[in-house]
Amino acid sequence: MQALHVLNIVGSPVLLASEKGETLKLAIIKALESFPFVAVDFTGYQFISSTFFNYAFGALCIEEAWNHDDFGKNIKIQGLSEDDAEELELCLFNVQQRRNLLANNINTEEFYATRIPV
């Protein structure tokens, strides 16, 4: 198993910006080329945003066509607070919803448009 220490990869304990999420995503993709799964260790982080989660893990799931189980098989998350771990779950849930729509050939723009209150 490959362990990725986020702070070393991103270079900062402040994990807010989307670009930092992208950096982590690319590091994960590269690691998975050589290892069956990776541990992503957030130990020492100070701040993290939903933006970071979306660009790191949300984008990863969409690009790799992973569902929640696939994510769990490939990625082991370590070092997140309980609140932030729940926020990551919300990110993965939203991605799953979006992927379900795309898998059923539902145009997400039209789908969300029909949900809008008049």
Partner 1 sequence: MKYFDLSYEAVNFLGQFGQHLNATTSETVELVSEFLRPICVVFLDQQFRTQSRPKSLYLSNPTVNTYLRDAGFEFLAPNAPTHFSPFDRRRRTGLKAFTNRRDDEIVLAWVREQVMVHFPNFTSELERDMVKKVYEIVHNGMVHSHSSHGVSVFGQLFPQKKTFEIAFYDAGVGIPQNVRNYGERIDSDAGCIEWALRSGTTTRPSKESGGMGLFLLQKFLGINNGFLQIASGNGYYERQGNQEPQCKALQHFLHGTLVSIKVRQTSLSYSYKHQS
Residues lying near partner 1 in the complex (CB under 8 A): 12, 14, 16-20, 46-51, 53-55, 57-59, 61-63, 82-83, 86-87, 89-91, 93-95, 97-98, 102, 108-110, 112-118
| CA-closest candidate to residue 79, choices 48, 36, 118, 117 | 48
Residue closer to partner 1 (CB basis): 35 or 77: 77
Residue closer to partner 1 (CB basis): 2 or 50: 50
Distance in Å, CB of 65 to partner 1, minimum: 10
Terminal Cα distance for the chain, rounded = 51
CA distance 51 to 29: 19
Question: Distance of CA 13 to CAs 8, 16, 54, Å?
Answer: 9, 9, 17
Distance in Å, CB of 33 to partner 1, minimum: 21
